[in-house]
Amino acid sequence: MSTRVVAKFGGTSVGSIERIRHSAGLVAEAARRGEAMAVVVSAMAGETDRILGLTQELGAGLGDAETDVALAAGEQVSSALMALALREAGFKSRSFLGWQLPVITDGPAGAARIAGMDVSSLEAAMDAGIIPVLAGFQGITQDGDVRTLGRGGTDLSAAALASALGARCDIYTDVDGVFTTDPRIEPAAGQLEAISHDEMLELAAQGAKVLQTRSVEFAKARGVPMRVLSSFLDAGQSRGTDVVASRDVAERRIVSGVAYARDQARIALVGTSNRSDLPAKAFAALAEAEIGVDMIVQAQARSAGSVTLEFSVAHRDLDKAQAALDTALPGIDMTSETGLAKVSVVGSGLRQRADIARSLFAVLGEESIMVRVLATSEIKISALIDNDAVERAVRALHAAYGLDQV
C-alpha cells in the first residue's frame, strides 16, 4: 500500500487563487510520486478574523454557538476552492465539511475538542482515486450543532485525520519549518531540523503559533509523524522540521527556542492570610469558565495579615475572568493590569540549569526591561513584561542563549 499523507495548508497557503493553485500543485506532485494524499485546509488568510469581527459587531464573539456557524463558512469556501484547484491540476477531488464525515466534537463553542471522527466515506473516496479535502477547524456535536476547534485548530483537524488514517501529517505554512524564534521578529533565527514533542508543546503553549498546542499534544499521544514545511517553495525545496519523540532528536541543545505571547493581563487578588481557600476557589471558578491561567504567584502582602494572589490570563479573557471571580468570591479586593506580554525560553537542557532565572533577569535587566512575574517549569522559564518591550526581549534572549545564526 502506498504511504498515506495528510497535507494541511494554513490561511496564507490558501490566501488567494494563485496560492491555492501553488498548494494544489504540491499535493499533485506528491500524488504523482505515488503517495496517497488527503488534504486539510484553513480558511483563506484574514477570513476568520473578518467573520469574527462581524459577529462581534452584533455583540457575540468567540464562544457563541452562532459565531461558530459563521466561522465554519471560512473553511467551507477554501475546501471547495482547493478541490476545484486539484481538479484543474488533473485529479479527481472533492471537499468534505466537518458534518459530512462527521468530525464529532465535545466541549464549548469556539474551543471544542475532537471526540472522534468517522473517516469511512473519506477513505472510500481515497480508494476510488479521489483526493479528499477536509474543511479544517470544524466539527459537529452529537446533537448536530456546528462547532469550531479554537484558533489555529486546523492543525488539530489534520493531526486527528492523520491518526485516523494511519498517515503522516505534513503541515504546510508560510515559513520553512520551526525556527529558534519567530523569524519575522528575529531574522537571525535558525531553522531546527527536528524538535521534540515536549519542546514544541512548550513553545506552542507559550505563543509560537506555528503549530497549535493541541495538535502537538494529539500527535504526541497518538504517535502521529508530523512535519512543518513551507508551501511557498516548490516541491522538494522545503527543508522542513520534523516533530519527533525526545529520544529521536539527535542534536542536544540546552535552549531550543524563544516564544512570546502579546496581550496578556495580570490579575491580583488580596485576601486575608487566614483565607487558605482563596486560591482553590479562584482557580476552580476560572477553570469552570474555561479560562487558562498561568504565571501564578502567591505572596504575603506588605500589610500584616493579608496575602496577594497574582496570575496572568490572556487579555481577551480578562472580563470573563473578573466576572467569574466576582461571583465565586463576592467582595474580593481585585485589581488588574493590561498591556503585558510574556516571553519564554524553552529547552530540555534547562533541567540542568539552576542559574537560568538569574541569567534571564540579567539579560532583561541589561535591556532595562522590568520583569513583573516570573514562572518556571521543567523545560521553560517565562517572564511577564510590558507589551512594548516584547521584540527587544525576544532578540536579547535569542542572542544571550546562543541561538543567533552566525
Given the rule CB under 6 A, which residues bind ligand ADP?
A: 10-13, 42, 152, 173-175, 178-179, 181-184, 203, 208-210, 257
**Residue 154 found at the interface with ligand ASP (CB under 6 A):** yes
> What, of ligand ASP, Mg ion, ligand ADP, none, does residue 174 touch, CB below 5 to 8 Å by kind?
ligand ADP
Q: Scanning the structure block, which residue is given the C-alpha cell 504511504?
A: 3
Q: For Mg ion, give the closer residue by CB, 43 or 109.
A: 43
Residue 365 Cβ vs ligand ASP, minimum distance, rounded to whole Å: 36
Q: Scanning the structure block, which residue is given the C-alpha cell 476552580?
A: 284
Give the distance from CA 365 to its chain's centroid.
Answer: 30
Phi and psi angles of residue 163, each rounded to the nearest 5 degrees, phi first: -65, -45
Contact indicator for 151, 74 with CB cutoff of 8 Å: no
Residue 98 Cβ vs ligand ADP, minimum distance, rounded to whole Å: 18
Calculated CA dihedral for residues 285, 289, 295, 301, nearest 10 degrees: -30
Residue 366: count other Cβ atoms within 10 Å of its Cβ.
Answer: 10
Q: DSSP of 262-320, one letter per residue?
A: EEEEEEEEEEETT-TTHHHHHHHHHHHTT---EEEEEEE-SSTTEEEEEEEEEGGGHHH
> What, of ligand ASP, Mg ion, ligand ADP, none, does residue 48 touch, CB below 5 to 8 Å by kind?
ligand ASP
Q: Which residue is nearest to ligand ADP (CB)?
A: 10
User: Smallest Cα–Cα separation from 272: which of 311, 303, 295?
Assistant: 303
Site track 150-169 with Mg ion (rule: CB under 5 A), x = hit = --x-----------------
**Residue 153 found at the interface with ligand ASP (CB under 6 A):** yes
Using CB under 5 A, which of the segments 6-14, 176-184, 276-284, 342-350 binds Mg ion?
6-14
Cα–Cα distance between 160 and 167 in angstroms, integer? 10
Cα–Cα distance between 259 and 206 in angstroms, integer? 6
Options 20, 40, 74, 200; binder of ligand ASP; rule CB under 6 A: 74
Which runs of consecutive H residues, i.e. helices, occur in 179-259? 197-205, 213-222
Using CB under 5 A, which of the segments 3-11, 99-107, 292-300, 350-358 binds Mg ion?
3-11
Options 98, 132, 152, 257; binder of ligand ASP; rule CB under 6 A: 152
Cα–Cα distance between 164 and 222 in angstroms, integer? 10
**Residue 102 found at the interface with Mg ion (CB under 5 A):** no
> What, of ligand ADP, Mg ion, ligand ASP, none, does residue 179 touch, CB below 5 to 8 Å by kind?
ligand ADP
Using CB under 5 A, which of the segments 9-17, 86-94, 163-171, 185-193 binds Mg ion?
9-17
> What, of Mg ion, ligand ASP, ligand ADP, none, does residue 175 touch, CB below 5 to 8 Å by kind?
ligand ADP
Which residues here bind ligand ASP, judged by CB under 6 A? 10-11, 42-43, 48, 74, 136-137, 151-155
